[in-house]
Structure 1
């Protein structure tokens, strides 16, 4: 079974969010199950800079993109048992950032077209093309339009995964023929609400549609979550599957993490206190072994539930807690939390930048991890937190609902504390319940043990993907 992941990101080569984590982990797990899964990425400048000695040039070719004929170099290397291909075109990819340019539509139209053009040139005969997000959404679109009837491509099957339906790849209608080279007669494949919508096109043309949790697969059929595509999702629900993401449990492992002060495991959880002390010292918090530390790590945006936190922040700080935030985002959110750090000296720490090393130390030193997301397709941070024995307080949405089971004191089952509605005081109530449980050390240690025993590896999810691929190839 030969699977080619076509993606704009894959850890450790290129990452701006959860997509990079997934594509960096899943292919290797599939290979352990007997598949031959490979990855195709744009050759960004940092990849060339860091991996120059390992990259091998396979060949060079030209790629037709409407009236343009563009150069494409194909490089390869092997990383942790996974073969990767990198498509080179400096006009499109020699940029300081992955996204955010006026010609993003053209850049990733080229990448999608090039991915198909180079397939016959590879030392690999793909059977399934697995694409993700709007950046590679044109692969199934091109396959069903421009390559229809081409015998070299007839046997290919496509999977398209939605990681976040909010980012759809919407562009001016003029792009259809001028950039994509798709005829006016095929406009209906991509046209939606007066724009060319890359994601809509992929939903319609792919053979199987997946998203990153079963709850999110249900949610996006409703207007609140579907971001305008809910009707298209409903029309294509017969091919929709929700498969929860996993995490790299070797990378996120407190017994081996070089970034934390003292390594520990579920069998030596008493050592976690040393990381708490070190975190308090690093962040300028008052030294206090007993006080619970509530942490947030992530983007400061509306759909992350930041407004809920702001609404009741003063009430939260009336509790005997310390609060730690690491992340960047919208200016009004950054300004608010920076102001709170100044107001609650020694109790609130705010870092409006991102550091993976500091994130590890926060996971290792905090007691509670707050994720009040309005929408969360999957979420990985709550899984990482539990690996470190830091208990999540989450809203029951998307992957948060699928991965965090509310703790039941009666049966002593569950690995976190949850709340249901998009309501600041419901969130506050969940935080207060969590704090009450924290002060009962016997119960708290039970929750920690439950959490650290939860399997968030890719084992179960990779088996689900294998079953999906096999079904497609029947």
Structure 2
């Protein structure tokens, strides 16, 4: 019998245990898909209070791994809810047992000790990936994710013991984990890690992500287009030179989505389930959404929706600039999200002034997100850059054509409809090139023209619903990458 390939998946968040964004979705779905391909996959995650509350920890004291001024770092073991594969929890009361989110306090400020919190996570990943691991299980592959685990490949590089091969996935290059260089002394790194020009130093500071990109055996991003974009100064965030140098180790693999959780045929959040053959059932979901959000009950009025973090990256300032013109057209708009206070204020003001036509929910609501994907007519995603994006895939799965900018994973997943007179036969949405309000408005205008032609609109809906955005193909691609690393 062939030996199972063993993978330790190190991440700062994973759905359903803890989530702030798309990283959690990927960190829940990809390990599950790999497990389904008969790999022995285990997740490593910090022991946040919310994680500990949700897990049945089988070994309350698995092993004391290392000591910090705040006490011992322990490793606990449990099972992934709904999946059953192992999850290792890095437990340290002083570092992780606190109110607030994984990265910020309740007031929205970054935790002052994030370098130590995620340096510890990285160091534990390193310990478990060495031949001298304290466990009786050692991975063949350590798969790191974003800056929070970026120091792990550096620790392994400077270790003298045999180790696992390493992969780091960039989910968003803009977040790099940059800290005071003096912290190197308290993060278990050797002096040469700073002295070497290709070490962990980045413009006189310590960069967790730069360390991962420099020392990992392979680098992946979450879409092919983003892998090309980040080698350009406009998208490279100062790391384009390193990425160009390591281009032969860089690969883009498009994320998938959890097709069990996001399935209009069986989604328990919906008023009425439906398929590509029963699109008319979606009318009831639109009516219910309009009622829930206080929008006027007009089934034939085009309803545009946004589900997003409100940030400059997402291009929603461009959308805010054209909202008045869209409202003059008579369309309805609903928005679910939070973030930039200025954008929150602008969208809340639209909702206040245009009752029955514009609805805003500031915050996040998983149930409402599902109901919006099923109830809106078109999804707005005008990102300035988008490493992959998941909501455009959720939208297509729900027969909701997305309107997106041509960047990153949006370019790789959405096929533009073209013009009403010359429609692209495999169209799944509407794509525009330039990050400006006029280009976005023109794309929405094209969508409005198609919406008025039900036959063509239904064609776009069905094309999107026929796409396979499951993790099957992406997970298989990762298996090929892992196996190639073990052969090299």
SS of the residue corresponding to residue 370 of structure 1 reads strand
Who is 1:251 aligned against? 261
User: Shift of the alpha carbon at 1:202?
Assistant: 0.6
Q: Assess if the C-alpha contact under 8 Å between 2:396 and 2:402 holds in 1.
A: yes
User: How many residue pairs end up in the alignment?
Assistant: 467
1:165 to 166, 170, 173: 173
Is 1:414 the counterpart of 2:424? The answer is no
1:354 to 342, 364, 368: 364
User: Shift of the alpha carbon at 1:105?
Assistant: 0.2
Is 1:174 the counterpart of 2:177? The answer is no
Is 1:393 the counterpart of 2:393? The answer is no
Who is 1:73 aligned against? 75
Is 1:428 the counterpart of 2:441? The answer is yes
Q: Assess if the C-alpha contact under 8 Å between 1:75 and 1:87 holds in 2.
A: no
Distance in 1 separating the partners of 2:312 and 2:193: 39
Is 1:33 the counterpart of 2:37? The answer is yes
- The 5 A counterparts of 1:57-206 are 57=60, 59-63=62-66, 70-79=72-81, 80-96=83-99, 97-99=101-103, 100-119=110-129, 120-145=133-158, 147=159, 149-150=160-161, 154-184=162-192, 186-188=194-196, 189-206=199-216
SS of the residue corresponding to residue 73 of structure 2 reads strand
Distance in 2 separating the partners of 1:78 and 1:430: 42
Distance in 1 separating the partners of 2:465 and 2:186: 53
Is 1:51 the counterpart of 2:55? The answer is yes
Q: Assess if the C-alpha contact under 8 Å between 2:379 and 2:403 holds in 1.
A: yes
Deviates more, 1:348-357 or 1:407-416: 407-416
Q: What TM-score comes out, normalization by structure 1 length?
A: 0.95
Residues 182, 70 of structure 1: alpha-carbon distance in 2 compared, 3 angstrom cutoff: farther
SS of the residue corresponding to residue 174 of structure 1 reads helix
SS of the residue corresponding to residue 317 of structure 2 reads helix
Q: Assess if the C-alpha contact under 8 Å between 1:28 and 1:81 holds in 2.
A: no
Is 1:326 the counterpart of 2:339? The answer is no
Q: What TM-score comes out, normalization by structure 2 length?
A: 0.93
User: Shift of the alpha carbon at 1:78?
Assistant: 4.7
Distance in 2 separating the partners of 1:350 and 1:104: 33
CA displacement 1:33-54 (0-9 Å, x = unmatched): 22212111112112222224x5
Distance in 2 separating the partners of 1:342 and 1:7: 40
Distance in 2 separating the partners of 1:333 and 1:410: 35
Q: Assess if the C-alpha contact under 8 Å between 1:62 and 1:69 holds in 2.
A: no
SS of the residue corresponding to residue 254 of structure 1 reads coil
What runs of 5+ residues in structure 2 fail to find an aligned partner?
104-109
User: Shift of the alpha carbon at 1:313?
Assistant: 2.0
Distance in 1 separating the partners of 2:454 and 2:31: 40
Q: Assess if the C-alpha contact under 8 Å between 2:202 and 2:210 holds in 1.
A: yes
SS of the residue corresponding to residue 14 of structure 1 reads coil
Q: Assess if the C-alpha contact under 8 Å between 1:192 and 1:200 holds in 2.
A: yes
SS of the residue corresponding to residue 327 of structure 1 reads strand
Q: Assess if the C-alpha contact under 8 Å between 1:2 and 1:37 holds in 2.
A: yes
Deviates more, 1:91-100 or 1:167-176: 91-100
Q: Assess if the C-alpha contact under 8 Å between 1:173 and 1:194 holds in 2.
A: yes
Distance in 2 separating the partners of 1:411 and 1:101: 49
SS of the residue corresponding to residue 462 of structure 2 reads helix
Distance in 2 separating the partners of 1:78 and 1:347: 42
User: Shift of the alpha carbon at 1:70?
Assistant: 3.3
SS of the residue corresponding to residue 42 of structure 2 reads strand
Aligned Cα root-mean-square deviation (Å): 1.6
SS of the residue corresponding to residue 269 of structure 1 reads helix
SS of the residue corresponding to residue 339 of structure 2 reads coil
1:452 to 465, 469, 485: 465
Q: Assess if the C-alpha contact under 8 Å between 2:290 and 2:296 holds in 1.
A: yes
User: Shift of the alpha carbon at 1:68?
Assistant: 8.3
CA displacement 1:345-386 (0-9 Å, x = unmatched): 211001111100111111110000000000100000000111
Q: Assess if the C-alpha contact under 8 Å between 1:176 and 1:187 holds in 2.
A: no
Is 1:21 the counterpart of 2:29? The answer is no
Distance in 1 separating the partners of 2:80 and 2:424: 47
What runs of 5+ residues in structure 1 fail to find an aligned partner?
none
Distance in 1 separating the partners of 2:483 and 2:219: 15
Who is 1:7 aligned against? 11
